[in-house]
Amino acid sequence: MCEVAPSRASEKLDIPPERFPRHIAVIMDGNGRWAQRRGLPRIEGHRHGVASVRRITQQCARLGLEQLTLFCLSSENWKRPQAELDFLMHLLEQYMVEERGTILRQNIRVSVIGRREGIPAAALREIDKTIEMSQANSGMRLCLAINYGGRMELVDAVRQIAARVAAGRLQPDQIDEQTLAACLYTRGMPDPDLLIRTAGEMRLSNFLLWQISYAELWVTPTCWPEFDEQHLHQAIRDFAARDRRFGGLSQ
């Protein structure tokens, strides 16, 4: 089991259990800017960003969070310099190898969403191995969005639905929100309750466009390499204090 049950976690943060988020998604922004402000190469920002991934993942597991989704690499990031992309792929492969012990100890279940095209075979091999080793775990789900784009995900879902219609297995008037949701990369996962974005940017960057329809947004000017447990706790406390009406009226 996770180290701290959700009810105990909510008590630790002085939050009623019913106000504790089930699923937190994070746009991890600002690695390059963090490095450049210190006169360092951009890749050093990515290296320090991995330490934040480790820190926040472990803390979320200890708090008993049901799911943490991290935006690791967007489908648009392939426009970056090849040397930076090669380093990111190396970090991804290294992370999958080095974090297995922690993932297993904390009962974390790893998932990956996005297209596999373009990701090196060595990285894919380690990703698949970590997913397989952790699939029986029953604690927090750690979902990594790699080569992911929200519009791309919707296109892939529509293609699946169109193929079913063309084959006569589905009538157009039978298509509803549940039909589309069942064809997304995130099928079977709860929608995020809280979306955190670091480095102060006020945009969604093509991330989980369908799934965050009712997510609470929390933006911090802190760059991802400096994002720590205290920032996470503040985001959760601010989330718990909000009035979530889902289109209705306050009680």
Among 222, 236, 226, residue whose Cα is nearest residue 55: 226
pLDDT digits (tens, 9 = 90+) for 31-70: 999 999 999 999 999 999 999 999 999 999 999 999 999 9
- Cβ-based neighbour number of residue 98 at 10 Å: 12
Opening angle at CA 168, ends 166 and 170, nearest 5: 95
What is the domain range of residue 235? Answer: 6-149+193-241
Residue at 110 is within a domain: yes
Residue at 144 is within a domain: yes
Among 51, 153, 67, 66, residue whose Cα is nearest residue 102: 51
Residue at 29 is within a domain: yes
Residue at 160 is within a domain: no
Q: Does the annotation count 77 as an active-site position?
A: yes
Average pLDDT, the chain: 93
Predicted local confidence at residue 243, as pLDDT: 87
CA distance 175 to 170: 8
Residue at 180 is within a domain: no
> Residue 1: is its pLDDT beyond 50?
no
Residue at 46 is within a domain: yes
pTM above 0.85, yes or no: yes
Q: Does the annotation count 147 as an active-site position?
A: no
119 within 8 A of 93, measured Cβ to Cβ: no
Residue at 171 is within a domain: no
Q: Which of 14, 29, 31, 86 is catalytic?
A: 29
Residue with tokens 């290296």: 47
pLDDT digits (tens, 9 = 90+) for 114-163: 999 999 999 999 999 999 999 999 999 999 999 999 999 999 999 999 99
Domain count of the fold of the chain? 1
Q: Which of 31, 77, 107, 238 is catalytic?
A: 77
The torsion of the CA quartet 185, 58, 85, 121, rounded to 10 degrees, works out to -60
Residue at 223 is within a domain: yes
Predicted local confidence at residue 14, as pLDDT: 83
> Residue 87: is its pLDDT beyond 90?
yes
58: domain CATH number is 3.40.1180.10
